[in-house]
Amino acid sequence: MFSKTVKAFLAVLGCGLFWAVCAEAQQTIAIESTDHNEITFTQPIHAGTLVLQPGTYVLQHHISKGKDFIRFMRVEKSEKLRLTRAYTGWYTDTDLIKAGEANCRVERLRSKTEGTKVMVISEDGRTRITQVMIKGKRAKYVF
């Protein structure tokens, strides 16, 4: 029905489309911080076994019992009214609430990082963090 040339062309085209879809499905994206070292996620994201809901977070590295962790602190902002003799007005109050922490591996860098950055990958319908770099640290944290 089809010639061998057409069949070969369709096979190559199909493989090329399959490769393109797979490459798109595993695209790595960098999310960089704001001026206040806050990272904002617009969809649920996985960090190790932790699932972070959409929102703004501050990232902190800490060591517990010889293991390295990245702590995710959710940023909650609220408007409050200040009433004093000298000043009356609204101000923004910021609270950091612990959302969780994930175990990581530390890889040393030659110089301090310029800003906080999170590398994420989307695969199998899930978005997960692959590595974190925190402003002023000489390390990257790999999940």
Q: Give residue-wise pLDDT tens across range 35-77.
A: 778 999 999 999 999 999 999 999 999 999 999 999 999 999 9
The Cα–Cα gap between 126 and 130 comes to 12
Question: Within its chain, how far is the Cα of 121 from the centroid?
Answer: 9
pLDDT at 100 over 90: yes
pLDDT number for residue 143 = 94
Q: Which residue has the tokens 């175990």?
A: 103
Q: Which two tokens stand for residue 28?
A: 């790595």
- Domain limits of the chain? 28-142
Identity of the amino acid at 60: Q
Reply yes or no on whether the pLDDT at 121 is more than 70: yes
User: Could you give the angle at the alpha carbon of 54 between the alpha carbons of 44 and 125, nearest 5°?
Assistant: 20
Nearest to 116 by CA among 53, 64, 66, 60: 60
Structure tokens at 102: 């994930």
Residue 64 near residue 102 (C-beta atoms within 8 A): no
Which residues have CB under 8 Å from 127's CB, separation 6+? 43, 44, 45, 46, 120, 121
Answer whether residue 110 shows pLDDT above 90: yes
Q: What is the pTM of this model?
A: 0.75
Who has greater pLDDT, 125 or 41? Answer: 41
